[in-house]
């Protein structure tokens, strides 16, 4: 086996049979559930355990990130929605209409993350509207994390089922 074959065997563009895709999927969802509205989850836990300065740090960090989310949504929200919708539509067409497996794989990564983005905006709105602090803020952050993990579980399940289907159908067809 020459070097060229070894590299292309390691970096296989058939996404669902590639270990790197599954590692990337795990990293994306692990990172997404750890960073709740841009705040590391251990910071939320530390604020609940210790209170005081840790609680103030959490509230400041959440306030900064909520304001940042609303600023981005206000300045470029419509453009981001249009761009994301176009990208997701293009990936869906390329992946499922034209059968390009790489586009299917990216679609199955990007689409659930758009739902997490919408959940984040909703949570940021609830935090701002309720002026949440202390235990109420931590409870809302916990709910958001659980919702994100639920989206992640469903996403990983659907991706795994589709990936197995793809691998089995290509294996049967000899693709």
Q: What is the pTM of this model?
A: 0.85
**φ and ψ at 37, to 5 degrees?**
55, 35
Report the C-alpha gap between 62 and 54 in whole angstroms.
12
Q: What is the mean pLDDT of the chain?
A: 90
How far from chain centre, in Å, is Cα 91?
A: 16
**pLDDT value of position 109:** 96
Question: At 36, is the secondary structure helix, strand, or coil?
Answer: strand
Classify 38 in phi/psi space as left (phi over 0), alpha (psi -120 to 50) or beta.
Answer: left
More confident: 174 or 74:
74
């Amino acid at each position: 086996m020459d070097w060229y074959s070894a590299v292309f065997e390691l970096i296989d563009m058939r996404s669902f049979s590639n270990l790197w895709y599954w590692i990337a999927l795990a990293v994306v969802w692990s990172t997404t559930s750890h960073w709740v509205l841009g705040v590391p989850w251990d910071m939320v836990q530390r604020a609940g355990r210790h209170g005081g300065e840790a609680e103030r740090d959490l509230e400041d960090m959440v306030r900064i990130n909520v304001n940042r989310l609303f600023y981005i949504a206000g300045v470029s929200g419509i453009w981001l929605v249009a761009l994301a919708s176009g990208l997701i539509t293009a990936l869906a067409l390329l992946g499922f209409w034209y059968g390009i497996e790489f586009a299917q794989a990216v679609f199955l990564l990007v689409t659930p993350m758009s739902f997490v983005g919408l959940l984040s905006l909703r949570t940021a709105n609830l935090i701002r509207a309720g002026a949440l602090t202390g235990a109420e803020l931590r409870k809302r952050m916990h709910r958001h994390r659980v919702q994100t993990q639920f989206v992640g579980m469903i996403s990983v399940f659907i991706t795994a089922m589709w990936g197995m289907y793809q691998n089995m159908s290509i294996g049967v067809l000899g693709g």
